[in-house]
Amino acid sequence: MSITREDVLRVAQLAELAVSDEELPGLVDQMERIVGFVEQLSSVHDDTAAGTFVAGPSATPLREDVVQPAKLAHPIPEMAPEFIDGFFAVPLRGTLADNP
């Protein structure tokens, strides 16, 4: 496909770009090379039987899910102001309707 001077001017107009007469020959050459490269892509053989490339192993082995208590420097009851029956207790400061 051949790119003309008018093609480049039309693209520049659509993109709202100002193109000087000195820049025009270089832009025509660049656009011809770009379109030529895209045309080459159509000649690439499409082998759908090859499958999708996945980097790494096809499956990741999973470890056993074991729950372990967190290792803390101090027990939680020592760090929390109020800790009752395994729960953090917080003071009640009113209802949601009281707080805008």
For 37, counting Cβ atoms within 10 Å of its Cβ (0-12 exposed, 13-18 middle, 19+ buried), the class is exposed
CA distances to 30, 33, 60 from 37, rounded to whole Å, are 11, 6, 39
Give me the pLDDT at residue 99, please: 56
Count the Cβ atoms, other than its own, within 10 Å of residue 27: 19
* pLDDT classification of 53: cutoffs 50, 70, 90: confident
Give me the pLDDT at residue 47, please: 67
* pLDDT classification of 94: cutoffs 50, 70, 90: low
Tens of pLDDT along 19-35?
999 999 999 999 999 99
* pLDDT classification of 98: cutoffs 50, 70, 90: low
In this model, does residue 48 exceed pLDDT 80?
A: no
